[in-house]
Amino acid sequence: VTGLLIGTIIGVAFLGGIPVGPLIAAGILALLLGKI
């Protein structure tokens, strides 16, 4: 859940608040967390 919240914030920041932002951001977060 925390990841989705952070992902939503990142999505809004990069995509200007597009509703699809959270999904894309969640995917990016998954990649970043996978590298850590």
What is the per-residue pLDDT for 35?
73
* 7 Cβ contact partners less than 8 Å away, ≥ 6 residues apart: 22, 25, 26, 28, 29
What is the per-residue pLDDT for 24?
72
What is the per-residue pLDDT for 3?
74
- Domain locations in the chain as residue ranges: 2-35
What is the per-residue pLDDT for 33?
79
pLDDT digits (tens, 9 = 90+) for 1-36: 677 777 777 767 776 656 666 677 777 777 777 776
